[in-house]
Copies of this chain bind each other. A is one copy, B any other.
Amino acid sequence: MTISKISPLAPKILVKMPPLTGVELATAASGLKYKNRDDLLLMVFSPETTIAGVFTKSTTAAISVLLTKHVVKIGQGRCLLVNAGNANAFTGVDGERSANSILSSISRVSGLPVSSIMMASTGVIGEPLDDVIINRHIDNLWNSKGTADWYQAASAIKTTDTFAKVTSQTVEFGNQTVNICGIAKGSGMIAPNMATMLGFIVTDAKIEKSLLQKILLLVNNKSFNSITVDSDTSTNDMVLAAATGASKVVISYEDSTVDKFISAFQKVMVDLAHQIVKDGEGASKFITINVTGGVSNNSAHNIAKSIANSPLVKTAIAGEDANWGRIVMAIGKAGELVKTNLITIRVGGVLVATNGKKFEGYKEYKVEKHIKSDNIIIDIDLQMQDGNATVWTCDLTHEYISINADYRS
């Protein structure tokens, strides 16, 4: 088994997380699937907290997605329970009963209305979630809120992840400080439009719910929706953003605070997204694909995604083969408007092709040297209009097959 081996692309240093008032964390080990590790996370938010969310587009979405979406839309989210190891997806009425039973337990212990309690589940699809086992831990979780740190929280939500994904940003607004802390999980089934990933970002800024939702949507497109590991999309994904307001710094449309905040928020989300790719199942190389000159940002995104999802491109990079013809293939299969004789391709900054054919002075040894590194950069210039996009992915290796052929995730 290769599951426990830490990804070679994992961050080498631990991030120091700033204090963040207005959220309390607790973790517990239910023993439901994993042994000797936490698999439950409770996040409790202060009453002033606003919550925004984005969710999987899967048509077979899990009950946790449906329930949490509802709370984000109409309710006042006050706490979130995450369980790892069982997705509680495709479990029919049994799954609904189980989720509702857990919500009731939390409501009973906390005194919060069910309509303010959110859930996220990740793990095996199709197996009923045992609410009895989870309910045994609710008292303890609630009573120990505030005792877990962000690393413990990130560790408790892992499935096939080989490392806990944590990051933060601190922004100064005059004399005041705003903190943003984020955690995420995910390694396989990662594709644009959410995949087997969960992300939770909390800030102590004060932000109206509608603005927070707008910021989350905007930034999500440039972070979690711009990564792909294997093109698969899960039943359970969600990213939640919570603004506790404890810092008293108000972020609003009207002034310049919003751009500064978005910039920091984006750093957190992009960092977490990169960490997910770097923990892509079997990943040995981190790949950045920049597409410029497309007819629209969306068109550029689709082309970048097509390259990022191509098994042939990903295996060539895994094999350190400068087989750039496969990039051409992937551009072509995207079905987006391109003019072949304008396409320029650079790999690692080295000009490979220009005006729709191999660059005459192309030096393959330079590209070969670049793709032996673990940080691959592919630049495509379509030279038509201003559309651009960046997508991140990893290579496709023997390890991916081993992990997914052997492990029921």
A residues engaging B (CB < 8 A)?
56-61, 87, 89-95, 124-128, 188-189, 191, 230-235, 309-312, 315-316, 318-319, 321, 323-326, 328-338, 340-341, 343, 353, 355-358, 396-398, 400-402, 404-406, 408
- B336 to A59, Cβ gap below 8 A? yes
- State whether B406 touches A94 (Cβ < 8 A): no
**How long is the Cα–Cα vector from A309 to B233 in the complex, in angstroms?**
12
A358–B232 Cα distance when bound, in Å, is 21
A332 to chain B, nearest CB (A): 3
Given contacts A329-B60, A332-B58, contact A128 B91 (CB under 8 A): no
Residues in chain B near residue A95, CB distance under 8 A: 357
Alpha-carbon distance A215/B234, docked complex (angstroms)? 39
Q: Give 29 A-B contacts (CB < 8 Å), ordered by A residue.
A: A56-B332, A59-B334, A59-B335, A59-B336, A89-B325, A89-B328, A90-B325, A92-B341, A92-B355, A93-B357, A95-B357, A124-B325, A125-B325, A125-B328, A127-B358, A128-B357, A231-B231, A232-B329, A232-B330, A233-B332, A235-B332, A311-B311, A315-B400, A315-B404, A323-B408, A396-B401, A397-B405, A398-B401, A401-B401
Contact assessment for B357 and A94 in the assembled complex, using a CB-CB cutoff below 8 Å: yes
Most chain B beta-carbon contacts within 10 A, residue among A90, A358, A397: A90
Q: How far is the CA of A90 from the CA of B339 in the complex (A)?
A: 11
Question: Which of chain B's residues has its CB closest to A191's CB?
Answer: B333
Which of B58, B188, B324 is the one whose CB lies under 8 Å from A312?
A: B188
B405 close to A340 (CB less than 8 A):
no
Query: How far, in angstroms, from A309 to B318 measured CA to CA in the complex?
Result: 20
What are the 3 closest A-B residue pairs judged by CB atoms, nearest first? A319-B405, A125-B325, A92-B357
Scoring A56, A311, A398 by chain B CB atoms within 10 A of each residue's CB, the highest score goes to A311
CB < 8 Å neighbour of A59 from B57, B59, B332, B358: B332
- In the complex, A400→B404 CA distance in Å? 14
| CB-contact partner of A405 in B61, B310, B318, under 8 A | B318
Given contacts A231-B309, A357-B95, contact A90 B401 (CB under 8 A): no
Q: How far is the CA of A331 from the CA of B125 in the complex (A)?
A: 12
Q: How far is the CB of A346 from chain B (nearest CB, A)?
A: 14
| Chain B residues whose C-beta falls within 8 Å of the C-beta of A340 in the assembled complex | 59-60, 90
Q: Given the known A-B contacts A126-B353, A328-B90, A401-B396, are A312 and B189 also in contact in the complex, defined by CB atoms under 8 Å?
A: yes
Cβ B91 vs Cβ A357 within 8 A: yes
With A189-B329, A233-B329, A329-B233 as known contacts, state yes or no: A357 contacts B126, CB within 8 Å: yes
CB A310 to nearest CB in B, in angstroms, measures: 5
Tell me whether B232 and A312 are in contact (CB under 8 A): yes
* Inter-chain contact A92/B356, CB cutoff 8 Å: yes
Min Cβ gap A77→B in Å is: 24
Per the bound structure, the CA–CA distance linking A330 and B230 in Å amounts to: 12
Residue of B nearest to A320 (CB): B405
